Amino acid sequence: LLCGCNEGDELRRSNHERLNLYVHMHCLSFICLSFSLTAATFSFSSMLLIARKALALAHNKTIRLTTREVHCLSSILVSPPLVSLDLPENWVPYSHPPSPVAFECEQKTVVIDGKAIAEDIRTKIVSEVWKMKNDVGKVPGLAVVLVGEQRDSQTYVRNKIKACEETGIKSVLAELPEDCTEGEIITILKKFNEDTSIHGVLVQLPLPQHLDEAKILNMVRLEKDVDGFHPLNMGNLAMRGREPLFVSCTPKGCVELLIRAGVELAGKNAVVIGRSNIVGLPMSLLLQRYDATVSTVHAFSKDPEHITKEADIVVAAAGVPNLVRGSWLKPGAVVIDVGTCPVEDSSCEQGYRLVGDVCYEEALGVASAITPVPGGVGPMTIAMLLCNTLDAAKRTSL
């Protein structure tokens, strides 16, 4: 299996490639040992299948298991492949929202100003960027890949590019049409991966349906994964005693807001509403690392209102406008509203207004603190992206 990996080839590899080869060689050794221990259980065809997958991994290729191959590998167990359990998160909003609940003693609610906190962070980033430029003669660089013409994505990317300009960070934007191929995106990502002036690379999500999102995101080099979506970054976030190179920007910004607002996390009951790979999942993992007791509410949860009402901290990231009502909240809870949903409103200049996952008017007087929409989590997400890009640049200059 390891043929072709001679000493001369090894010496010519970069540090990154040698590390990957080291890991893959140990994985292959484990698999070979497994063959000898489980020969009585696995068929010869199953062994060949595993070897083929392992060899592809060693050559840094992505191979998708077919349904037949999955059954071949899991024929011993009755539990299904995890991917088969990934059903769509179809939230059903209230058709008739309940009336606001009146409390005997109204809670004074502090509005957490994410815009002001993000501005303070960006001011410090400007100082760090100028210091780097003077000390080592370079500035951080961020590359963004935008596919298609989705209005929300274009707005997000525009804000990111503008934030880079304002903080002195170099930015490069690669725009591709909606019908582009995976190969075209991967070619661009490889170029950015090798560009030493680019320290952070991100692919704006969501991608069109015909593209393999996981395959594309996995092409971003680990040390440039400033969005924190690489499986190794997510895995290190999940494991105690491990430090990811980057934490996903929105969860990282949410925790920064909580800490700066003086909210204690250790030992508190936290509920995260939503479990997307972008926000919900890394948010739950990050709160656990801060020793909170975390529950996840999703579209299949039974009695989500009851679960949420037990929380000291609520992070709403379902993407459903006004999903969380005042009756869902325990008096004194801290609410972080990640949702940003456009709702038609003829009185607004754009014809719509932005609302969050939490019914803001009902939460006032119940929550002890809450982030507004807009002006809460959004600015912090961009500020954390700038921080991650700066950190990536600092690592290369050490």
Give per-residue burial for 116-134: e unless 16+ CB within 10 Å, then b.
Answer: ebbeebbeebeebbeebee
Catalytic residue among 160, 170, 224, 252: 160
Catalytic residue among 204, 224, 268, 312: 204
The helix or strand, by DSSP H or E, that contains position 306, with its residue range, turns out to be: helix 304-309
Catalytic residue status for 224: no
Strand-pair category, 170-176 with 141-147: parallel
Catalytic residue status for 350: no
Catalytic residue among 170, 224, 225, 227: 227
Strand order in the sheet with 369-370: 110-111, 369-370, 334-337, 313-316, 269-273, 293-297
Distance CA 139, CA 22 (A): 32
Both tokens of 33, joined, read: 């040992």
Catalytic residue status for 124: no
Token look-up 């019914």 returns: 359
Both tokens of 116, joined, read: 């002001």
- Residue 340's nearest CA partner among 252, 387, 274 is 274
- Residue 383's nearest CA partner among 171, 225, 198, 163 is 163
Which residues are catalytic, by number?
A: 160, 204, 227
